[in-house]
Amino acid sequence: MKKIYVLLSLVFVVSLISCGSQPKAEEPKPEAPVVNDAEPVVEVDEVVEVDDDVELINEEVSMPEEDDDEYLRSTQALSAEELVTKDEFAEDKAEILRIIKELQKVMEKEDVEAWLKYVDKDSKTFYSNPANIRKVNKKLPNKAIVLNGIGDYFKYVFIPSRKNREITEIRYISKTNTKAVQVNEDDSITRYYQFIKVNGKWYVQLDRV
């Protein structure tokens, strides 16, 4: 019985030694973070300073040749000191054609009061003078017409010569004085309006005797 007990003790000791001599299992290493390629990327636009001269050249190159020709036609009478840029020309033309479009509606209604809002102050003063009205009256080819004031001038002179005309271009006389013209088939022009800029606003300037 004693021998069996000793034998079992030896087996138990050998088992313990065997377990202690086995290599320790490696602990799992932490996994590296996975980068998601589909994650949105925020791009920061680089601020680039553009030289004014370079920017101007780019604008000139991109401008259609037809528009460039019209710009040259419109500004050819200006002196070197009175430079009108292409942007200024485009703004002036758009504003003047807008006014003419509104005037067409005013003329259809023969609305004198509405028309006077588009006329410059000096022209209204001139045509409010009876002596000047008489001078204009004498110049009319139709002697049956009698002008008694600026309202008659609007009705019998201004409207018949301008109603339903196709005005397509402008011609600068100076930076603040411009003609609105119709370009004819033979490339000649017919002036139907003259505009003057006062305090940054364009007004119709009436012909003087």
Please state the domain extents for the chain.
66-204
Q: Which residues of the chain have pLDDT under 70?
A: 1-66
pTM: 0.68
Tell me what pLDDT residue 177 has: 97
Residues 6+ away with beta carbon under 8 Å from 128: 149, 150
The whole-number pLDDT of residue 54 equals 34
Q: pLDDT tens digits, residue range 130-152? A: 999 999 999 999 999 999 999 99
Chain center to CA of 35? 46
